[in-house]
Amino acid sequence: MIPYGHQSISQADIDAVDEVLRSDWLTQGPAVPRFEGTVAQASGATFAVACSNGTAALHIAALAAGLGPGDLLWTVPNTFVASANCARYCGADVGFVDIDEHTHCIDVSDLEARLERADRSGRLPSVVVPVDFAGLPCEMARVRELADRYGFTVIEDAAHALGATYRGTPVGSGAYAHMTTLSFHPVKLVTTGEGGMVLTESPDLDGRLRLFRNHGITRDRQLMEVHDEGAWYYEQVELGYNYRLTDIQAALGASQMDRLETFLDERRRLAERYDELLDGLPLALPPRSEGSESAWHLYVVRVPAVFGRSRLEVFDSMRQAGIGVNVHYIPVHLQPYYRRLGFGPGDFPAAERYYSEALTLPLYPGLTDAEQESVAVALRDALR
Ligand SMILES: *Cc1c(COP(=O)(O)O)cnc(C)c1O
């Protein structure tokens, strides 16, 4: 089976991990700030806080934004459940904004309309989480304009978009989002096995993210509330978590970052080649966005049932042909947990329509030209 995504591990990656295993540090040590530095530099961010996974990154970002019981976080249905769950971890409520039919990212007109209504009813979100779906940046300038008008914090979920650019600036540079979160799960752009990171321009948010990553504990005298009793002394000033990344993981991440540009070039080349191989089929190919450069985490086509074969038939036929196609994403508001909170079918029609047609094709550095051709042949056969 050709998988839909796969990590690329080099001898240099193995050597980097090997070196840490022979050193004195296994948990968070010198490799973590080194990894944070490489990601900050590639993204144009000032501060970078590594943590145990992308879900933890969203959680500490929501906590750093001050999200708590009674507050409201909005995200899109077309995302992994973690983008919404981070609010629930904080005791906050979740709302959704529908997606744009073309980009499959947040529909900024729907966001604006919902904000106007929420303002009138006195129930504005304090955090909005736009998701750079498949690696394509959202319309962040308009999101930020609305954030400044309505006073919410923007946490950009860029789990798909490390290395993408929006209006010439790298995702994570902080030009539009207050915080940007990343994931280093093996199918993402670079991997640490499990891992995540939050990027920000704010020294205050950086400090809070570091507290929440490590039990809410500080050794910084400026942050202490009682007094310094000696060199052993630390204070827990918030309720934080153990969301640290290990040095073993960070060394792998830093080594992977050496190949970020190569990975991005390879993904872009494969995406362009899919465009050519699939030209003329009754499909909608992935969107492009004027002024943006996607990181091509996913290559998603839409199989509109009106042209004959349903997405389910095409999916089953391709799996039988040994192609590990997948579907991203089941709309979060239709998950049983969120249905119990009052959401249901028909609430977000664009996300639901998109979901009924979406099909993710294999795309990762190392996918060979021959494998890619066999994906195109299987898809052509499935549509026949
Ligand atoms: C992968 C992913 C996450 C969660 O990341 P983990 O590292 O798996 O916890 C969050 N949001 C999106 C959009 C993702 O794709």
How far is Cα 384 from Cα 308, in angstroms, rounded to an integer? 9
| Ligand 1 site, residue 159, Cβ cutoff 6 A | yes
pTM for this entry: 0.97
For a pocket test of ligand 1, which of 52, 180, 184, 185 has the largest count of ligand atoms closer than 8 A to its C-beta? 185
User: Is the distance from CB of 14 to CB of 334 less than 8 angstroms?
Assistant: no
- Picking from 134, 177, 182, the residue whose alpha carbon sits closest to that of residue 36 is 182
pLDDT confidence tier of residue 226, bands split at 50, 70 and 90: confident
Top pLDDT among 284 and 229 is at 284
pLDDT confidence tier of residue 307, bands split at 50, 70 and 90: low
| pLDDT above 80 for 306 | no
- What percentage of the chain has pLDDT greater than the value 70? 99
| Ligand 1 site, residue 80, Cβ cutoff 6 A | yes
132-141, 171-180, 188-197, 307-316: which has the minimum mean pLDDT? Answer: 307-316
What tens digit of pLDDT does each residue of 252-274 get?
999 999 999 999 999 999 999 99
| pLDDT above 90 for 56 | yes
pLDDT of residue 335: 98
Residue whose entry in the numeric block shows the structure tokens 């290395």:
163
For a pocket test of ligand 1, which of 180, 183, 198 has the largest count of ligand atoms closer than 8 A to its C-beta? 183
Would you say the C-alpha torsion 86, 89, 90, 92 has a positive or negative sign?
positive
Instruction: Tell me the CA–centroid distance for residue 40 and ligand 1, in Å.
Output: 19
- What is the three-state SS of 35-80? HHHHHHHHHCCCEEEEECCHHHHHHHHHHHCCCCCCCEEEECCCCC
Q: Taking all residues of the chain, what is their mean pLDDT, rounded to a whole number?
A: 96
User: Is the distance from CB of 4 to CB of 363 less than 8 angstroms?
Assistant: yes
What's 243's DSSP letter?
Answer: -
Nearest CA to ligand 1 atom 2: 159
- Average pLDDT in the 193-200 region? 98
- Average pLDDT in the 58-67 region? 98
- Average pLDDT in the 299-314 region? 87
User: Residue 183 CA: which ligand 1 atom is closest?
Assistant: 7
Q: Is 162 left (phi over 0), alpha (psi -120 to 50) or beta?
A: beta
- Average pLDDT in the 150-179 region? 98
Q: Is 28 left (phi over 0), alpha (psi -120 to 50) or beta?
A: beta
User: Is the distance from CB of 131 to CB of 54 less than 8 angstroms?
Assistant: no
User: Residue 58 CA: which ligand 1 atom is closest?
Assistant: 10
Residues 6+ apart with CB under 8 A from 24: none
pLDDT of residue 228: 77
Q: Which runs of consecutive H residues, i.e. helices, occur in the chain?
A: 11-21, 31-43, 54-64, 82-89, 108-121, 140-150, 203-213, 247-257, 260-277, 311-320, 336-339, 349-357, 369-383
Residue whose entry in the numeric block shows the structure tokens 């550095």:
365
Would you say the C-alpha torsion 323, 185, 270, 135 has a positive or negative sign?
positive
